[in-house]
Structure 1
Amino acid sequence: MRLSGFLPGFPRGVFLALTLAASPALALDPTPAAPAAQTSGFTIFAAASLKNALTEASAAWKVKTGEDIAISYAASFPLARQIEAGAPVDIFIGADEESMDYLAGKKLVKPESRKDFLSNDLVLIAPTGGPDKVDLTAAAVTGVLKDGRLALGDPSSVPAGKYGQAALTKLGIWDAVKDHLALADSVRSALLYVSRGETPLGVVYLTDAKAAAKETRIVATFPEASHAPIRYPIALTATAKAPAGKFLGWLLGPEGAPFFKRQGFGVLTAK
């Protein structure tokens, strides 16, 4: 099942950019704004779960340098395919190694610039009116779902969905819920399903749950051993402009780290 009314996806050849200057610091709606004219600066494609932290960091860079940054947020692999199709992007930040490996294999990123930037945790959430705690067992999860569905990023394209499927499988829950999913095209869409009360449970990153703390609550945290480590690789694209390289260096250093730590990310590169 797919619920409608959220991020429509990124058709091949249509490059959507969200201009930072017009963006709120916190917005759960993952739908990017229409492209804005950009006379200077550079462009970033980033995993949807980075929206709050990266938007704040980019605003600070704008104040520091006066440079404009256009950002599009969505699921990692569709963004990688946009870059492959020729999207004019300078920095890519994915939510899994696979999407970055895909671009590296096609020589579309500068290998020397690639870093494992951030880490995250995977959690089970419910609307604020839901249970306080849910055991990570098939009986407990299906008991809460009843006739409802579990919101999950589509494992075929959304890293959070891949991690979620792996964790649910490891814990013996997948077979009980696989026919009762509300598949989302980004982790932020999965978050919206729960925050709007359209599903009783959802699997998202810890940072997404914190972004919607007024509308959702964490009812369980998946053990680290239940899924592969959640890593966010970052790299300059092969055609990146010089200002993007300066921003990447700043972002990976001690000045950029606090924006991500505040949202709950683990920062792997701060000096």
Structure 2
Amino acid sequence: MVDMRSILGRSRVRQAVSAAVLGFGLTLAAPAAMAQDVLVLAAASTKNAVDKLAAQFKAKSGLSVTSSFAASSALAKQIENDAPADIFISADLDWMDYLQKRDLIKTGSRTNLLGNELVVVVPKGTALKPDLSKGGKLAEQLGDGRLATGDPSNVPVGKYAKAALESLGQWQAVEPRLARADSVRAALMLVSRGEVPMGIVYRTDAAIDPGVEVAAVFPPDSYPPITYPAALVAASKSSAAAAFLDYMKSPEGMAVWKEFGFVPAPKAP
């Protein structure tokens, strides 16, 4: 006579073993899947474009791109302190150089990806026309307010702004009136909210915020060419990171950058 309890017992054991094997298989598969995903640390000014590029890349490849945005200086320091990252996009050459000198990027992957322009923005509907002439009166035009831009000591947009104002002979008058933001998007927000009467940002940032308008454009020879380098991080374990970097450089990728107002990277002198 067949012992049904014995059969049921063996069946439950097989189910338990199968479940354990399946669970173990999923556990093993997870790191491999995670290794395929891409983590990008990118300059704050690239946010809208990188988000769209990531969505398009996932639609094509099925691979996820996670991005974190801040001032290039903050991101470079995070990488230096072993924060996980696969790709770094800087808003200036200095912070990429900083990582390269410390062997924290894959030098052969480094590329100058994009360019940009430096502008003065004011709250939408403001009639103010900033004076960007040599020896002009920008500081006086601020009235009791301040001029928002990135902190010139470390944030790329602030460094470009300082160079431009120095070139125009206006830095000494303007410096005490700065609102030093920790990123270009933070400076943009101060203007958009009407907390300051003017800000110096990139043209691409001005284009995405309906609360501001471009009131003046700095002469292109008044500051170093704005260059966005990108590179793979030396500690990256993602097998898909190089593919996403290539995608951002492809004609399809460059069309997205152009859509958000970026221009091709300046040619090296």
Alignment TM-score, normalising by the size of structure 1: 0.82
Establish whether residue 113 from structure 1 lines up as the match of residue 109 from structure 2. Answer: yes
Cα distance in 2 for partners of 1:146, 1:58 equals: 43
Could you tell me which of 85, 92, 95 is aligned with 2:91?
95
AA at the equivalent of 1:168:
L
AA at the equivalent of 2:227:
R
Establish whether residue 204 from structure 1 lines up as the match of residue 180 from structure 2. Answer: no
The structure in which a higher percent of residues are helix is 2
Aligned 8 A contact 2:188 2:206 in 1? yes
Could you tell me which of 143, 158, 164 is aligned with 1:146?
143
Aligned 8 A contact 1:132 1:217 in 2? no
Cα distance in 2 for partners of 1:106, 1:66 equals: 33
Alignment TM-score, normalising by the size of structure 2: 0.83
Q: Percent identity?
A: 47
Q: How many equivalent residue pairs?
A: 231
CA shift digits 1:216-238 (9 cap, x unpaired): 11111111111111000000011
Cα distance in 1 for partners of 2:82, 2:197 equals: 39
Establish whether residue 215 from structure 1 lines up as the match of residue 207 from structure 2. Answer: no
- TM alignment of 1:114-263, pairs within 5 A: 114-131=110-127, 133-137=129-133, 139-212=136-209, 214-240=210-236, 241-263=238-260
Cα distance in 2 for partners of 1:160, 1:145 equals: 19
Aligned 8 A contact 1:115 1:235 in 2? yes
- Unaligned 5+ residue runs, structure 2? 1-32
AA at the equivalent of 1:254:
P
CA shift digits 1:180-221 (9 cap, x unpaired): 111100000000000000000000000000011x21111111
**Equivalence for 1:28:** none
Cα distance in 2 for partners of 1:164, 1:248 equals: 29
**Do the aligned partners of residues 260 and 191 (structure 1) sit closer, same or farther apart at CA in structure 2, a change above 3 Å counting?**
same
CA shift digits 1:69-122 (9 cap, x unpaired): 111100001101100100110000000101000110011111110000000000
Cα distance in 1 for partners of 2:83, 2:226 equals: 26
Aligned 8 A contact 2:146 2:177 in 1? yes
Cα distance in 2 for partners of 1:197, 1:102 equals: 35
* Cα displacement (A) at 1:132: 5.3
Cα distance in 2 for partners of 1:200, 1:144 equals: 9
Cα distance in 1 for partners of 2:265, 2:224 equals: 16
Establish whether residue 45 from structure 1 lines up as the match of residue 41 from structure 2. Answer: yes
* Cα displacement (A) at 1:248: 0.7
**Do the aligned partners of residues 258 and 132 (structure 1) sit closer, same or farther apart at CA in structure 2, a change above 3 Å counting?**
farther
Deviates more, 1:175-184 or 1:260-269: 260-269
3-state secondary structure, aligned to 1:202: strand
* Cα displacement (A) at 1:128: 0.8
AA at the equivalent of 1:259:
V
**Equivalence for 2:53:** 57
Considering only CA atoms, is the larger Rg found in Structure 1 or Structure 2?
2
**Equivalence for 2:27:** none
Aligned 8 A contact 2:41 2:87 in 1? yes
3-state secondary structure, aligned to 1:134: coil
* Cα displacement (A) at 1:135: 2.3
AA at the equivalent of 1:206:
R
**Equivalence for 1:70:** 66
Over 6 Å off, 4+ runs: none
CA shift digits 1:32-88 (9 cap, x unpaired): xxxxxx945120000000001111111111111111111110000110110010011
**Equivalence for 1:13:** none
